[in-house]
């Protein structure tokens, strides 16, 4: 495993008490590579910590989520993966990898810091959307001794669309992705989801739209090929080696314009697919559907957001040491 070298902690863009450090990783075909680890510590160390991994076209900014874990005695860490958020460098193609395992070194480095350097022997990994797929594969392969649980918020476990579209589409993705990995997939992104979140539009959250664009980052064939390979591996059955909580909205809709559906449903992924494949994550999985939740359930409207935190609280009380 590549542990990565760390810079000193400095105040994060979120402001203190959030601190950040840069993880220097081996270069890839685009040049130097870094990841960024953000930390918010509790007043009294307990030996317990959470490490959060964001989704696609995303980065960590969910401070309420960090504070919720702090209130329960967990030091909170979040990693902005290579080519995402704080870790994007001018010479890089944002989000671009051709194998989801390319993200394992920064997760290894973050876990090394949390467990070995900072002395936590009880680690919960949290992840959202694409991050949920990445950490599921990581946990299955690494089987880390400190991993006590995983909380996956709307993990991306299958491609949207019917069986025919997924079957034919996947063949095309594999063929083009192998030959022309940087080729951009034509798609229309209306941006309803991100606008439903941002305080300058229809939401209540502030975030950097250079790091989380309103209309998303482009998707390449090489990246989507990596995703479909990850889906296939997951669907063959993984073993996280710890209790897993999977949260999602109670339903999916595909609105054509801004309206109530945008705020009360997952408008990014198909909830039935999350429900179907949740048990492929391991032998001990709890699934909870949150009525009225958004794709990122902890960024939902206040009532479903509270329901999501209640579900996490019940699960943590039952299954975390």
At 10, which CATH number?
Answer: 3.40.50.1820
Q: How confident is the model at residue 164 (pLDDT cuts 50, 70, 90)?
A: confident
Q: Work out the average pLDDT over 130-136.
A: 98
Position 6 scores a pLDDT of: 61
pTM of the model: 0.96
Q: What is the pLDDT of residues 275-307, one digit of tens each?
A: 999 999 999 999 999 999 999 999 999 999 999
Position 202 scores a pLDDT of: 94
Q: Work out the average pLDDT over 78-99.
A: 98
Position 118 scores a pLDDT of: 95
Structural domains in the chain (count):
1
Q: Residue 66's closest CA among 104, 37, 103, 34?
A: 37
Whether the CB-CB separation of 255 and 266 falls below 8 Å is answered with no
Position 3 scores a pLDDT of: 52
Position 2 scores a pLDDT of: 43
Q: How confident is the model at residue 163 (pLDDT cuts 50, 70, 90)?
A: confident
Token pair, residue 11, equals 């105040």
> Which residues constitute the domain of residue 295?
5-319
């Amino acid at each position: 495993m590549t542990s990565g070298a760390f810079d000193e902690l400095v105040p994060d863009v979120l402001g203190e008490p959030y601190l950040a450090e840069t993880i220097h990783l081996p270069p890839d075909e685009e040049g130097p590579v870094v990841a960024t680890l953000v930390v918010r510590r509790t007043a009294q160390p307990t030996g317990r910590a959470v490490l959060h991994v964001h989704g696609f076209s995303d980065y960590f900014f969910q401070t309420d989520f960090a504070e919720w874990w702090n209130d329960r005695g967990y030091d909170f860490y979040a990693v902005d993966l290579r080519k995402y958020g704080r870790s994007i460098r001018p010479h890089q193609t944002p989000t671009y990898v051709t194998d989801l395992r390319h993200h394992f070194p920064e997760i290894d480095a973050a876990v090394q810091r949390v467990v070995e350097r900072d002395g936590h022997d009880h680690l919960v990994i949290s992840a959202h959307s694409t991050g949920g797929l990445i950490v599921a594969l990581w946990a299955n392969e690494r089987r880390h001794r400190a991993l006590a649980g995983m909380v996956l918020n709307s993990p991306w476990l299958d491609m949207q669309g019917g069986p025919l579209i997924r079957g034919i589409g996947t063949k095309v993705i594999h063929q083009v992705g192998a030959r022309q990995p940087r080729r951009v997939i034509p798609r229309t992104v209306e941006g309803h989801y991100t606008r439903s979140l941002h305080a300058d539009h229809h939401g209540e959250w502030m975030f950097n739209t250079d790091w989380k664009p309103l209309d998303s980052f482009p998707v390449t064939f090489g990246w989507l090929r990596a995703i479909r390979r990850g889906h296939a591996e997951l669907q063959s059955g993984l073993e996280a080696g710890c209790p897993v909580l999977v949260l999602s909205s109670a339903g999916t809709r595909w609105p054509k314009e801004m309206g109530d559906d945008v705020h009360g449903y997952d408008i990014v992924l198909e909830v039935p697919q999350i429900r179907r494949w949740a048990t492929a994550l391991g032998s001990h999985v709890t699934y909870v559907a949150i009525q009225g939740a958004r794709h990122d359930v902890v960024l939902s409207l206040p009532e479903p957001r509270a329901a999501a935190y209640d579900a996490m609280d019940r699960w943590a009380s039952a299954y975390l040491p």
